[in-house]
Amino acid sequence: MKKSILLFTALCCAIFVIAQEPLSLNDAIQIGLEKNFDIQIEKKNVEVAEVNNNWGNAGLFPSLTASFTGSKSTFDNKETLNPFSILGKTVTTQGQPSVNLNWNLLSLYNIKITKRILEQLEAESGGNASIVIANGLQSIILGYYVSVLERDRLAQFKEQLDLSREKYEKIKIKREMGGSVTSDVLLEEGNYLTDSSSYINQKLQYNIAISNLNFLLGSNDPSTQFELTDELDSSVDEITYDQLIVRMEKENIDIVKQTITQEILGYDQELRRWDRLPTLTLGANYTYTSNQQDVTDWPLNRRQVTDGQGNVLDVLSVGDNRNINYGINFTVSFNLFNGGKINQAIQRAKINYDQGGLRLDKLKAQLRRDLKQAFDRYSVRQNLFQINQRREDAAKQNLDIAKDKFENGSIDSFDYRTVQNTHLISSIQRLQSEYNLIDSKIEILRLTGGLVEEFNN
């Protein structure tokens, strides 16, 4: 039994045997901003929007197409009733390259509006990226502090375990000297095993927090261990709700992004109105046709080239015919009636714009509600942290006093165990209240648009 408990103790105390990498909060933020999967994906969406934002997609430049048509045919005329038809085989090879240009000249204002829409779409994509970055940054910061919280909790359970082990070792010595009974030893052994189980469960929570942090940092190895160099930051900022409201309505990234979306809907509404105007299209084309015929089977007199005197200058084996066609045209189009589709599109664009305005108003109201609740939580958690801090100090002093009393026999194991558990509970509650205070502070920074500015320096 003694060997089993010693082995159990060795396993419990083997916490940080694996080599650990030092990691500060700033290091975690920089690594996360570079490698976090969600942030990397959103950066690619921004690159797509940047590629799409150009005058070509806006329709400024003409369209230019080129084509080539080729054919080869054989006509074998073996007999005919037409005295003017040529008997024999005729092989015809034809090549026809062509170039066509089209340019809408009356859509310059539409092009300008479309370019503004593309610019706003790029800005909207940047706004989406800002939201993803802010959310990712919030997750990384809280993920880091959760790991610190679980590590500090583990240290508290380790301290409890050390006290239990110390008591257990002392009670065994007393029994060997005849100063205690078996029931006392069993009681302390039970306490020690209970604290060992609590320690092991807390170690599991710490490992889970570290694996989550690895994922947030874009790591493919969830088992990478870190030496977290930053502690829980319980500093309190003096802020007022009115100050936060002003800053939120000006800098909140969700409001900024939704405002850009509303501007896009406004441009789309204006673009739909211009569909009523006529279009003027400039067209240009150029076609070159080369037609060659194999005339070797034609009668000789039909293939001879003679001069004005009737002298034969040449006998053709191939006939060649070349044509060039080119031209410019203008087309003016008026949409006289299309079943009211343009008016319907204008009405839909106006409805979408009004709907977007309602979404923006709803978002602002929702964020004002969220900020009020976050501010109230922050204020309450300040008080709770101070209360829990004082409770922990009192419990620590009480534990030191109880330890002396237990050693001189003034209190029994049950009373000492009660004081020991009270100290553990107060320490855990103080750590949780400190983390809750940090969580509220980060939430307020996220709502007021100051999270990236505060931590991404």
* pLDDT value, residue 426: 95
* pLDDT value, residue 280: 72
* pLDDT value, residue 328: 82
* pLDDT value, residue 3: 46
Walk along the chain (457 residues) in steps of 10 and give the mean pLDDT of each run. Answer: 48 52 91 90 89 84 80 60 51 72 72 85 86 91 96 94 87 71 79 93 96 93 91 85 92 91 89 78 76 64 68 65 77 78 88 93 95 95 95 94 86 88 94 95 92 73
Residue 76 sits at the vertex; the CA angle it makes with 75 and 79, to the nearest 5 degrees, is: 130
Q: How many CA atoms lie within 13 A of 81 on its CB side?
A: 0
Give the predicted TM-score (pTM) of the model. Answer: 0.78
Domains located in the chain, CATH noted? 2-59+107-278+334-455 (1.20.1600.10), 60-106+280-333 (no CATH)
Give me the phi and psi of 64, to 5 degrees please.
Answer: -130, 120
* pLDDT value, residue 78: 53
Q: Is 229 helix (H, G, I), strand (E, B) or coil?
A: coil
* pLDDT value, residue 321: 67
Going from the C-alpha of 416 to that of each of 164, 166, 357, 398, the distances in angstroms are 11, 13, 65, 10
> Quick one: CA torsion of 110, 114, 117, 122, rounded to 10 degrees?
-160
How far out from the chain centre does Cα 33 lie?
11
* pLDDT value, residue 19: 59
* pLDDT value, residue 441: 93
* pLDDT value, residue 302: 64
